[in-house]
Amino acid sequence: MPDDPARRALLAERTDAALVSDALPLRANLSVLENAAIVLQYRENLDYDRAADRAWSLLGRLGRTGCAFRRDPDLSAEERFVAKLARALILPQPIIIIERPGLLLPDTHYPPFLDASLAAVEDLFEQCWIVDYSWNE
């Protein structure tokens, strides 16, 4: 993206996409597992146990069940990213938008991390867009 207004316009236009972004924080009072499960509880009216089972399965595919019962303040940047990705993917989506991965993963060489994470769940989305400023290309 050339600038912030262009980035904001793209995000506003793509209401059909699931967003993984610093602008969408995790609910601090919920664990990683609960942050993903709550989507199913509200959107599919699933009871907690069934929603948590699906969220656990997704965290397993992402290799991050170890952080399932921790809350946001206790997470590393990678765990926080995976929690947001799981929340975005808990319902299959046509498009996943990962906004400014350098901001989400400041201490991680993120291209291989993103490749591995997305490869583990590639059947849950059709496209993944990485949205960042052109100077981070």
Element (H, E) at 54: helix 48-61
Residue 31 sits at φ, ψ, to 5 deg, of -75, 170
Exposure letters 54-83 (e unless 16+ CB within 10 A, then b): bbbebbebbebeebbebbbeebeebbbbbb
| pLDDT bracket for residue 136 (50, 70, 90) | low
- pLDDT at 137 > cutoff 70: no
Question: Is-above-0.85 flag for pTM?
Answer: yes
pLDDT at position 46 is 95
| pLDDT 10s digits, 13-53 | 777 889 999 989 999 999 999 999 999 999 999 999 999 99
How far CA 83 is from CA of 2, 31, 50, 87, 120, in Å, comes to 28, 9, 18, 6, 14
| pLDDT 10s digits, 53-104 | 999 999 999 999 999 999 999 999 999 999 999 999 998 889 999 999 999 9
pLDDT at position 8 is 77
Tell me the C-alpha distance between 94 and 124, whole Å.
Answer: 8
Amino acid in position 52: A
Hey, is 97 helix, strand or coil?
strand
